[in-house]
Amino acid sequence: MDMQAIITAVIVIALLGLALGLFLGFSAKAFHVETDPRIDRIIEKLPGNNCGGCGFPGCSGLAAAIVAGEAPVGGCPVGGDAVAKEVAAIMGVDAEGGTRMVAFVKCAGDCEQAGRNYEYHGEEDCRMAALLPGGGDKSCSYGCLGFGSCVKECPFDAIRIVNGIAVVDKDACKACGKCIAACPKKLIELVPYDASYLVACSSKDKGPDVMKACKTGCIGCMLCKKNCPAEAVEVESFLAHIDQEKCEKCGVCAEKCPKKIIRKH
């Protein structure tokens, strides 16, 4: 082998490497975009779960949005008030204390309460089962299918399937919203952590139809609304709903409910 050719090849490669390095270095300086140092400081304070519960693509996306004024300093549902205060200090603003929110499954139709139209033997995924006739095997087309799509999506192990329905551990829940997006029945909503009474039903059918499908579903009887001293209960489309801002936590609605579908949270 020609030694001169080898030496020449090595020199050429070295020169090409040097030229490429100089070009990249020049390009890095020429096209460098200054980033606000507060972004990195905020990222350090955020939990790092990258759950998307804030509505932005991960913690870095939220940090950039906060600095740009497109998101509040308390925009991280996982970090809560503690992180909001640290981020506010970086931004030089006051952190307003927000209400802690948690997920709640609006269904109590477990294996004993809800009827079944047929037996489902397919993939254990709520989104797949919801495509079947009647929206699934349950007699109530609004009810929790119990195959745990929400459980699989929860990054905080805050949901479990108990006797055929999803149940949220409110102390573990960080209100990231992933379970809400995963539920094909739209049964899960965010409610105040300190809410006292909630309606564990989503059916909008008339009373007789509800009773055929589920032993404990809301029948729209209006007794909760008529007896609430704070006028915090409304019934719309045969389904009761409690306005948590008006609720005085007296429990009269739960006491008067004949189906016992208003539950202590």
Q: What is the pLDDT along the chain (265 residues), one digit of tens a residue?
A: 567 777 777 777 877 777 777 777 766 566 555 678 889 999 999 998 888 888 888 899 999 999 888 888 888 988 888 898 899 888 888 776 667 889 999 999 999 999 999 999 889 999 999 999 999 999 999 999 999 999 999 988 999 999 999 999 999 998 888 999 999 999 999 999 999 999 999 999 999 999 999 999 999 999 999 999 999 999 999 999 999 999 999 999 999 999 999 999 9
pTM of the shown model: 0.76
Question: Average model confidence (pLDDT) for the chain?
Answer: 89
Q: What tens digit of pLDDT does each residue of 176-224 get?
A: 889 999 999 999 999 999 999 999 999 999 999 999 999 999 999 999 9
**Per-residue pLDDT at 1:** 52
* Chain Cα centroid distance, residue 164: 21
Measured between alpha carbons, how far is 159 from 146 in angstroms, rounded to an integer? 11
Structure tokens at 123: 């993939």
**Per-residue pLDDT at 97:** 60
Measured between alpha carbons, how far is 89 from 105 in angstroms, rounded to an integer? 36
H-assigned helices in the chain: 3-30, 37-45, 58-67, 80-91, 126-129, 149-153, 178-182, 207-213, 223-227, 252-256
Measured between alpha carbons, how far is 263 from 215 in angstroms, rounded to an integer? 15
Q: Going from the N-terminus, what domains does the chain have, and what CATH number goes with each?
A: 37-91 (1.10.15.40), 109-189 (3.30.70.20), 195-265 (3.30.70.20)
**Per-residue pLDDT at 50:** 85
**Per-residue pLDDT at 113:** 96
The count of C-alpha atoms lying within 13 angstroms of the C-alpha of 70, restricted to the half-sphere facing its C-beta, is 9
**Per-residue pLDDT at 30:** 60
